[in-house]
Amino acid sequence: MKQLRNAALIAGLCLLHSTLPVNAQTPPPPDPTEDRLMLSAGFLSAHPDLRFRLHGLEEFKAGRHEDAFKFFQRASFYADKPSQGMVAEMLWNGQGVAKDPALAYAWMDLAAERGYVGFLGLRERYWSALSEADRERAIREGEALYAKYGDAAAQPRLATVLRRERRKITGSRTGFAGNVQIYVPGPGGFEQIDGSKFFDERYWDPKQYQAWHDSIWTKPRIGRVSVGDVEQLPEAAPSSRIPVARPEVDAAEPQTPERDESGLGTQKDD
């Protein structure tokens, strides 16, 4: 039962629209993955962290856990902490992959790297359940995981994609989108998205993009997910037990099943 509650918690965490920041003065900007026009205009092609996480969730909900695991790993390659949490939970429960508590801990430690409360709690729950031998292996194998998937390696990859895809979309405008209108084909003809919405800096500037994620995940409130009793963390949660590793920014990207990535819109100037 506890394993099922863990899976439900992580599945809920991975849905942006199921979370809101606690005690926030202002809500975060709208979730672009809930906007049909934004997705049709190719927003996800420039945000591989969100794209592969959503593919993973689709496969997970359909019961295709092996494919889901691969998609979550690929999203993790681009610094997506919720996907790293899903990889950990699937390893912990043996969903789509052989059960491996030690490796699951290392992945949950990655997910908790930025101090997101939900992942810190699961990380400590994992640690308390590990044998001494598994703890030693978790720390040993976690160093290699951090080298490939930790923020020091993964965030520069994501930043490169964000900047490259924005330049590709805006072309000679050098990133300025004030007069850009994006036209998306639909059943009733073309629909229009204002460039100021599509190119909101919070979705394209690497630092602001992380801040947007932080506003959602640092202290999430989960809705409509049964997770049993809430476990309180100590006032000062332990830091990572895994040694700092040299980041492998140029590491090979994980492979995933082929998916239809069509849906790019066309653009016109006013």
pLDDT of residue 31: 66
Residue 124 lies in a domain: yes
What is the DSSP secondary structure assignment for residue 95, as one 8-state letter? Answer: S
For tokens 């194998």, the residue is 141
Q: Report whether pLDDT(214) > 60.
A: yes
Beta strands in 65-156 (DSSP E): none
Residue 129 lies in a domain: yes
Q: Report whether pLDDT(220) > 70.
A: no
Residue 44 lies in a domain: yes
Residue 188 lies in a domain: no
Say what the pTM is: 0.77
Q: Which helix (H) or strand (E) holds 24?
A: none
Please count the structural domains in the chain: 1
The rounded mean pLDDT for the chain is 76
Residue 173 lies in a domain: no
Residue 141 lies in a domain: yes
Cα–Cα distance, 85 to 150 (Å, whole number)? 13
Per-residue pLDDT, averaged over 63-91, amounts to: 95
Q: Report whether pLDDT(187) > 90.
A: no
Domain that includes residue 126, residue range: 2-22+31-154+220-228
Cβ neighbourhood burial of 5 (10 Å; 0-12, 13-18, 19+): middle
Residue 196 lies in a domain: no
Q: Report whether pLDDT(223) > 80.
A: no
pLDDT (tens digit, 9 = 90+) per residue, 122-169? 999 999 999 999 999 999 999 999 999 999 999 999 999 999 988 887
